[in-house]
Amino acid sequence: MSNTETKEAPYKPTSPNSKLDFESVWEYAPAPQDSDFAEIKERYELFIGGKFVKPSKGRYFKSTNPATEEEITEFAEATQKDIDKAVKAARKAYEGEWSRISAKERGKYIYRIARMLQERAREFAVLESMDGGKPIRESRDVDIPLVAAYFFYYAGWADKLEYAFPGKKPEPYGVCGQIIPWNFPLLMLAWKIAPALATGNTVVLKPAETTSLTALKFAELVKDCGLPEGVVNIVTGAGQTGAEIVNHKDIDKIAFTGSTNVGKIIQKSLAGTDKKYTLELGGKGALVIFEDAPIDQAVEGIINAIYFNQGHVCCAGSRLLVQEGVADKVIRKLKDRLETLIVGDPLDKNTDVGAINSKEQFETVNKYLELGVEEGADIYQAKCEIPENGYFIRPTLFTNVSQSNRVVQEEIFGPVLTVQTFRTADEGIEKANNTPYGLANGIWTDKGSKIFKVGSKMRSGVVWANTYNKFDPTSPFGGYKESGVGREGGMHGLAAYIKN
């Protein structure tokens, strides 16, 4: 053998210049989460007045597991008569027992709900992943713990409202109609129900038609905890059911989380009425990466910002803005990192990216992928294997896009990231703000002064610095422009449910 023959340099995982070599260094064995213990009924009725009741017209709709396309169960479809019944039950509870008990007792009920959620956390996490397609790690470690935390937080405020609003005598609105989306079913339920109950209101809540399972499981929990009948009513159905809630004359407050288009329809419906409302709508968040940012940390932040929950996040960081000096490096590292993501069974603890929530959303995301290519963008997708059945899309990023491209301007609500560059901070701010939305943005930089200077000029309700998608019950959340009206979380979330 020749002495001049050279050997290939070994891969060193700790080297900053090494390309990630995921397959040869790491090998994961399947780690399925047992789901046999989670009880799912063949059919779920409406929860009205503390009881499960059949729908007036006897209609039901099926619910499928997006990872397998198999039917899970079926839910009752509430129509106008059912909504009227639920509102009457909520009104009766509001004017009766719920208004007579002390604020301290209200807090005890909310606290009891939080504790029972913790006790059944494993069950709720599994059902959330089966019904919605999100990885079990996210349901287990993010969704369910946050749900309990929001109930604990508002339980503490129930008897302290005078301290939250000094100089005022806070009074509840009465009956609140609440409509929640499919991306965080139980967490959005907590955002709505916990502050409403803490301030003395009663509720009629409609979960999304594709993810109603955990809401009905929550109804079982409400019944078990002894909450007075009619304080919480949960009705299932599609858009028409939600419209019946919005238009019901005996509802005092509407709280909606969902698409901007539906939010506009609700706003028009409520015009000329005395109903109060909060709307948490869509977003097109920008992640602004400066040259002085810790690049590896920023790449992890990008992954969390857009591929968390398959990109089914209203505040997802779906627009990446990178300062030119580090753009090539960030894109290279980002592409390498995409190859390490595991797309597959949501109930496998190794899975990073689960199933798209529904067939309809799967088709919508794919249409945007085709549109991005038609607009002239360069598409890059992870080369990972995906299951043959179910609604799965590989993590995707578009480069060579312009500000006017529809994939840059419109909310895709899937695992799709667009990449643009900027030279100066002012240019980065201008591009970040050049969108109809204003829900959330992120900044990565090593300079604290830059965080405050740039962040203060961003027209969005939330600005995360050197992190993303961090939520806390004490912190308000909401947007500007077409991203909504009002705030949820923190004392702002309490204020949304009291008469000022």
pLDDT tens per residue across span 255-273: 999 999 999 999 999 999 9
**Sign of the C-alpha dihedral computed for residues 208, 214, 216 and 221 taken in this order:** negative
Contact between 107 and 158 (Cβ < 8 Å): yes
The pLDDT of residue 25 is 65
Confidence of residue 1 (pLDDT cuts 50, 70, 90): very low
Give yes or no: 280 in active site. yes
pLDDT of 11 above 60? no
The pLDDT of residue 28 is 84
Burial 46-70 (b: 16+ CB within 10 A, else e): bbbbbebbebbeeebeebbbbbbee
Contact between 375 and 337 (Cβ < 8 Å): no
Q: What would the 3-class secondary structure string for 372-394 be?
A: HHHCCCEEEECCCCCCCCCCCCC
Residues 217-228, mean pLDDT to the nearest whole number: 97
Residues 364-382, mean pLDDT to the nearest whole number: 98
Residues 378-404, mean pLDDT to the nearest whole number: 96
Query: Whole-prediction pTM value?
Result: 0.94
Burial 125-146 (b: 16+ CB within 10 A, else e): bbbbbbbbbbbbbbbbebbbbb
Determine the Cα angle at 327 with ends 322 and 333, to 5°: 110
Confidence of residue 227 (pLDDT cuts 50, 70, 90): very high
CA dist., res. 79 & res. 55, Å (int): 8
The pLDDT of residue 2 is 42
**Bridging pattern class, strands 202-206 and 286-289:** unpaired
Which of 225, 314, 315, 384 is catalytic? The answer is: 314
pLDDT > 70 fraction of the chain, expressed in percent and rounded? 95
Task: Mark residue 432 as left, alpha or beta (left: phi above 0; alpha: psi -120 to 50; beta: remaining).
Answer: alpha
Which of 280, 411, 482, 488 is catalytic? The answer is: 280
The pLDDT of residue 5 is 46
- Give bridge partners of residue 378 from the DSSP assignment: 399
In angstroms, the Cα distances linking 100 to 113, 229, 343 are 20, 14, 52
CA dist., res. 434 & res. 404, Å (int): 10
- Residue 12 φ then ψ, to 5°: -120, 110
pLDDT tens, 43-100?
999 999 999 999 999 999 999 999 999 999 999 999 999 999 999 999 999 999 999 9
pLDDT tens, 441-468?
999 999 999 999 999 999 999 999 999 9
Helix then strand then coil, % of the chain, to nearest 5? 40, 20, 40
The pLDDT of residue 6 is 43
Q: How many CA atoms lie within 13 A of 325 on its CB side?
A: 9
Burial of 370 (0-12, 13-18, 19+ CB in 10 A): exposed
- Give bridge partners of residue 278 from the DSSP assignment: 255
Give yes or no: 69 in active site. no
